[in-house]
Amino acid sequence: MNACLKKTETCIQPLLVLSASILRSLLTSYPEAFAFSLKSLSASSLSRFVCLVGCGSYEGVCDKDGCDLNPYRYNVYDFYGPGDSFKVNSLKPMTVVTQFITTDGTDSGNLTEIRRFYVQDGVKIPSPQLDVGGTTYNAISDSFCADSRAYFDEPHNGFKDNGGMAAMGDALDRGLVLTMSIWDDHYAHMLWLDSTYPVNGTTQGNARGSCPTTSGDPSDVEVNAANSTVTYSNIKVGAIGTTNAL
């Protein structure tokens, strides 16, 4: 899967409810300022907006950075991973619960927060409290995203620039398509999930997991892990508290 767009493709509004490997999992919200087909743009507009093959995500319209909740980036190393030494054991079945919190607690309210907890062996496991430059968070919100951007000293803020939580809420109101898959990444080799990215990064937040930076190459993954499988089951959508007793 490549990150850049061709002239006939469409900007999408993704919400990565669960991006996970055996070593790491994350929840990411990606508001997009443009939700239309690039086919509709004039030639002059295309010359300004189209992202060409090989470009970075800040040279075009789509694929801007989102706001992710990955405890490893905040020095919490024992939350998710393979084995009983982790609070969530990725070698065992788990239930992943994502809650969308609005200003007034109704479906029509403005989205303000996205929360995540897991259930494993009948036990509820909330997302850990993360120290983000002196303020504690355990969910995605506009303030969490702003503070994390400053904490990581990241120059861009595509999440805020494209509307933040409000834009993500608008996308949910329009309706999103649930897609479940196993995939690899020809652009960044999935290093943003469970390795160090950028590969030579040494600042806070660059370490996203313990995988080596040489891992994830599709030429290796598609040959040596071609028979990998995952099972998604018991998918439920409903009001908070109705899909899980915990």
Q: What is the pLDDT of residues 205-242, one digit of tens each?
A: 999 999 999 999 999 999 999 999 999 999 999 999 99
Q: What percent of the chain has pLDDT over 70?
A: 80
- Measured in degrees and rounded to the nearest 5, phi and psi for residue 95 equal -105, 130
Nearest-angstrom CA–CA distance, 243 and 157 = 34
Q: Which pTM does this prediction carry?
A: 0.84
User: How far, CA to CA in Å, does 235 sit from each of 13, 69, 93, 98?
Assistant: 21, 22, 14, 12
Residue position matching structure tokens 């609005």? 102
Q: What is the pLDDT of residues 170-211, one digit of tens each?
A: 888 988 888 899 999 998 999 999 999 999 999 999 999 999
If phi over 0 gives left and psi between -120 and 50 gives alpha, with beta otherwise, what is residue 164?
left
Residue position matching structure tokens 């509820």? 124
Is CATH 2.70.100.10 correct for 17-33+65-224? Answer: yes
- Measured in degrees and rounded to the nearest 5, phi and psi for residue 220 equal -90, -50
Report DSSP state, residue 37.
Answer: B
